[in-house]
Structure 1
């Protein structure tokens, strides 16, 4: 004899009203059906470009043990007394150069909000108001804690937490997840939480990346001779300690090259944003593009496959420091290919990842 099916909350609720339990007496209060939350999580942004706003943001960022894992007795005096007395000025200047003055916010915040809006529209078409979509920042605002608490207050009993980093890394994906779990540690009634894994191999992500490259090359007055895939760097020690980021970056480059049908060497991998005295994975983008110019490559393009949205590392570091390094070494044309941002094919890729990870929940 077949075993009886297990009852579910959905089967207990009257479908038309979605509020009255079928087995409850008539005077039983309405029970709202639990919703599912989806949170897009990005790295973070300062609230403004002034010294104190930058200092608060940098202090939170550089005090994160996932980012700088030195012992506090060694790191904090250096951070508080030296780095944070100077770096807010230089970082503030960099942010002012890219700041969205119309909305008085960083481009990362503007783009992440637009990505969230489009993802919300896509999920609403498929699931109605059952799924609630929001976004948060690991550092700065809107904070992870405030967004998760807001979703719970809206009735989200299950939450899919999506760090917007195609490749997994401890200083990005892991710290975003850490912050989400810190909020759960403080809640009396925790929602069920799923985290989205790295999606650098996802076909839709690779298709969107390849399309952005083809469009940029077709639009270039002088076709680039080499495409440099520039990823945010990490200390080499992280690789040796088991962080898969470096390997996933190398594989992203290979998969993109194969998607484009290009020969080996047409796309080269490099890493940017070195910080501190340790040896980092390389080659360093700023040095690599100069070397390409000295080798006679006069026309190059640079793309940032590890960033889901343009930010200070792409809009300022790549388009100014790295571009200048190439041109000063003898390069002639430098093409920056924007991040996927809120492109429709990128949003479709994010929706595909989300739908897969929501399996059994909607």
Structure 2
């Protein structure tokens, strides 16, 4: 973290009582979904309340949704969700795996940016839900002299419930700044060649370590209600394209890879096929007794991959007669992934690096 007091100076020709202004920097603020502070009931309740109260995530009328959320869901779900988080918690560091991985990603990207641009670029991360908050990190960057901020939601694919709500929160934070910095947001990178290559290399590496090649690779993406697709959300199409590009990069046939969607919530229809049902069908009807599963929509392993895929989805496959289930981890802080993310950042910083970042008042 930059110390804004070290680089703060009084503008030239300003009166003696003029406040000091931090030297110009370019900020790169990475954003991920979020994590509870702990897996106890109240930590889980605070986190789930913030998450499930987001109208981008649950867009039902608050008059109907909030009583159900506050009086029913949040009295029970913190217990079950807490147990799930407890099963994957990084006890050594006292944090969730998503937090650990995001810190590692940020550190590696920061080192890459420092090697390329010295101290001109400040790299940090925030969470849409929980801590560190988007608001707190925007405040820190502005205080450190960042007059330009690139906001990078770490979602390869755009969805209203992920990228859009992260951007919403970023702009809310900017509303509180007296002197707003110039900002940019990063487009989804689901078809970026380096991202596809990093995915392919992780698959090739995993397959190379197996004694028997899986019958099929299941690309399991986080689901959204089907209604969102019909209302114009491009998420489904972007996921399908990632699978196609991955297949082409690997040189595989259509029968060797498939697209599914996980994490369904609530009574309405979501994007299909549902991963938990499809893996069972592959085992019982499709004769696919040996499968591998990856999660291309997640930039870091989290509760949906480490617990849902490795436990619930695996169990569904095995109960249907499946024999060999392999989960291929997310790209996390893999060097090829960091190179891809850094390339996306560099592309989006065009015209900013080396340019005057502060106009003297």
TM over 0.5, shorter chain? yes
Q: Which of 113, 125, 145 is matched with 1:135 structurally?
A: 125
Structure 2 CA distance, aligned partners of 1:101 and 1:125? Answer: 33
Structure 1 CA distance, aligned partners of 2:178 and 2:13? Answer: 29
Cα deviation, 1:170-201, whole Å, max 9, x if unaligned, reads 00000000000001112111111110010001
- 8 Å CA contact 2:84, 2:303 repeated in 1: yes
The answer to whether structure 1 residue 252 and structure 2 residue 242 are counterparts is yes
Q: Provide the residue aligned with 2:213 in structure 1.
A: 223
Of the structure 1 ranges 216-225 and 154-163, higher mean CA displacement relative to structure 2 is found in 216-225
Structure 2 CA distance, aligned partners of 1:34 and 1:72? Answer: 42
- 8 Å CA contact 1:208, 1:349 repeated in 2: yes
Query: Structure 1 residues 164, 25: CA separation in 2 closer, same or farther (over 3 Å shift)?
Result: closer
- Residue 70 of structure 1: SS of its match in structure 2? coil
Q: CA RMSD in A?
A: 1.7
The answer to whether structure 1 residue 76 and structure 2 residue 97 are counterparts is no
Structure 1: segments with no counterpart, 5+ residues = 1-16
Of the structure 1 ranges 60-69 and 31-40, higher mean CA displacement relative to structure 2 is found in 31-40
- 8 Å CA contact 1:37, 1:133 repeated in 2: yes
* TM-score, normalised via structure 1 length: 0.92
- 8 Å CA contact 2:22, 2:143 repeated in 1: no
Q: Provide the residue aligned with 1:111 in structure 2.
A: 101
The answer to whether structure 1 residue 212 and structure 2 residue 199 are counterparts is no
Query: Structure 1 residues 278, 126: CA separation in 2 closer, same or farther (over 3 Å shift)?
Result: same
- Number of residue equivalences: 344
Cα deviation, 1:218-262, whole Å, max 9, x if unaligned, reads 111221010000000000000000000000001110000001000
Structure 1 CA distance, aligned partners of 2:281 and 2:308? Answer: 18
Cα deviation, 1:62-103, whole Å, max 9, x if unaligned, reads 000000001110000000000000000000000000000000
Q: Provide the residue aligned with 2:340 in structure 1.
A: 349
Structure 1 CA distance, aligned partners of 2:143 and 2:336? Answer: 32
Q: Provide the residue aligned with 1:169 in structure 2.
A: 159
- 8 Å CA contact 2:217, 2:292 repeated in 1: yes
Structure 2 CA distance, aligned partners of 1:25 and 1:244? Answer: 52
The answer to whether structure 1 residue 331 and structure 2 residue 325 are counterparts is no
Structure 2 CA distance, aligned partners of 1:287 and 1:241? Answer: 25
Q: Provide the residue aligned with 2:272 in structure 1.
A: 282
* TM-score, normalised via structure 2 length: 0.93
Find the structure with the greater CA-based Rg: 1
Structure 1 CA distance, aligned partners of 2:264 and 2:108? Answer: 33
Structure 2: segments with no counterpart, 5+ residues = 1-6, 354-361
The answer to whether structure 1 residue 296 and structure 2 residue 266 are counterparts is no
User: How many angstroms does 1:32 deviate by?
Assistant: 5.2
Structure 1 CA distance, aligned partners of 2:44 and 2:255? Answer: 40
